[in-house]
Chains A and B, each alone.
Chain A
């Protein structure tokens, strides 16, 4: 009887917990961190390189880095940050149009792995001095 009650509780609460979003996916201060300095991400999980090509129709970019070329999809929820730190100016939010060939970028895929392709969680675009 006790086990049944316990199971009932577990099922009910699993619904509640199931509504939770994985922790750590929204951090507004990320915008102010220059390319290559995101803690625990830049050294392990992001791709840093230059934009090789842009496909506006498919809303994708190809980024060439030391690890080769990788495609990233710019989804509606992908955040684009303009890294103006080398100008010593405040960083700003950007748009797909700011992703131009030749631009230096850092991409974090939603999967948070370097070996990925697919939707990007955020893209930082360097604004040169």
Chain B
């Protein structure tokens, strides 16, 4: 047996390693840490689900069918398949597994078999930029999931009642316990800490031709018209058009009248979703776009699988004949009518924005570890972020030179011990191939 012989350098390296054990990054404020623990571990004495069941960190705080397919059958997401008390009228397991759709009784609980909607799970990133509006907080897809004052803080109470219950009786103190005020505060603080804390300032100096053209189309009020409702590719209306306090807006964009929706094609009962209110006004909240490319599928009912399809939606009759589409056409002289190349360009722009955000988050996480070795959790999260950046770019063969650097960066992070400095350098180098002038 050959015994490896360490030179002086090897011995020094080992001594340094022993002297510098893995450490957690600087602790976030206590309330955020407390909220994180609650978000991922607290079942509220219910059916076993936590907030993280439907908002897993490793999948950008959302669910899609591909991720669901990786979960074991005893995952609490599937309680409708394992708990006889929840077998009826709690979820539709087929639609959940096939399309990532969750059952919600937003129009009341008097007829569980027939009155419900099937919705996708919005990610919880960048909530700090997307919930506030001049008309009050807008949470979830339509703003009617939160009881109490309708705030993000109160949303957790609604989620426990809707999704955590042991039976469809939903008796507080029997089927679940309600979150305390302290828990609601902490859950809100944690959710607000996730992702971007401020909106971008477009335009940015993009390096790629397609993405740069996509940005022009996105911002062009006579062509793409996207930024009117997605100002700076976020979730808020253009303040120059909607007023400085507009914030997040809610529109009927006609998604519900799309033909051949995947859920409808299954033959399962999928009642129409009338959006906010009862009866509903057909309106749904505007989601942020920076995080869109790596959080498919799209729209409140997961009707569209790709970011290209989501951009193309605005060319179709469903949007252009909708209340929002009609006002847009009246105000701007016509509907949206992009050619296929323009759709690809806008989608490329959104893919690059998403990759830039993945890189930003990765650098931020690694730098938060300082000179200490990043913890396994940080390594895992950074690895996921970089993987997302690679995927959103490589799927359309965008910036393959940057993709190569991102692969190196991911390998550096996953090395034992992780090479954080090297990874950060590679991430910055990759970023410089996507856009100029972004610091940090």
Contact = CB atoms under 8 A, between A and B. Distances in A.
Contact of B135 (A12, A23, A33): A23
- Where chain A touches its partner, the secondary structure class is loop
A12 B172 contact: no
Contact of A27 (B146, B184, B241): B146
A41 B149 contact: yes
A90 interface: yes
Contacts, number: 145
A35 B300 CA distance: 32
Given A19-B281, A33-B178, A37-B178, A90 B169 contact: yes
A38 B242 contact: no
B158 A27 contact: yes
Given A13-B228, A32-B172, A89-B171, A24 B331 contact: no
Interface string A29-72: 11111100111110001000000000000000000000000000
Interface string A1-36: 000001011101111110111111111111111100
Interface residues of B, number: 58
Given A8-B331, A16-B251, A23 B136 contact: yes
Nearest to A79: B108
A39 B144 contact: no
Given A22-B135, A85-B171, A27 B144 contact: yes
Given A6-B241, A23-B150, A24-B137, A29 B277 contact: no
A34 B151 CA distance: 19
Contacts of A27: 144-148, 150, 158
A85 B177 CA distance: 12
B147 A23 contact: no
B172 A9 contact: no
B276 interface: yes
Interface string B161-181: 110000001111110001101
Given A23-B135, A29-B147, A40-B153, A13 B169 contact: no
A110 to B, nearest CB: 14
B241 A24 contact: no
B172 A40 contact: no
Nearest to A10: B241
Contacts of B158: 27, 29
B105 A9 contact: no
B136 A22 contact: yes
Interface stretch (B8-16, B190-198, B322-330): B322-330
B169 A40 contact: no
A17 B276 CA distance: 14
Interface residues of A, number: 40
Contact of A6 (B136, B153, B240, B251): B240
Given A17-B242, A22-B135, A90-B171, A29 B149 contact: no
Given A9-B331, A23-B138, A30 B173 contact: no
B273 interface: no
Contacts of A31: 108-109
Given A9-B221, A9-B241, A9-B331, A23 B137 contact: yes
Contacts of A23: 133, 135-138, 143, 150, 250, 276
Given A17-B249, A23-B137, A25-B277, A39 B148 contact: yes
Contact of A29 (B161, B221, B237, B332): B161
Given A9-B332, A26-B276, A40-B153, A16 B327 contact: yes
Contact of A33 (B143, B161, B323): B161
Nearest to B154: A39
A9 B323 CA distance: 15
Contacts of B151: 24, 39-40
A37 B327 CA distance: 42
B50 interface: no
A34 to B, nearest CB: 6
B402 interface: no
A28 B108 contact: yes
Given A14-B242, A93-B110, 10 more contacts: A9-B221, A9-B241, A24-B151, A28-B107, A38-B148, A39-B149, A41-B148, A85-B173, A89-B169, A93-B108
Interface of A: 6, 8-10, 12-17, 19-34, 37-41, 45, 84-85, 88-91, 93, 112
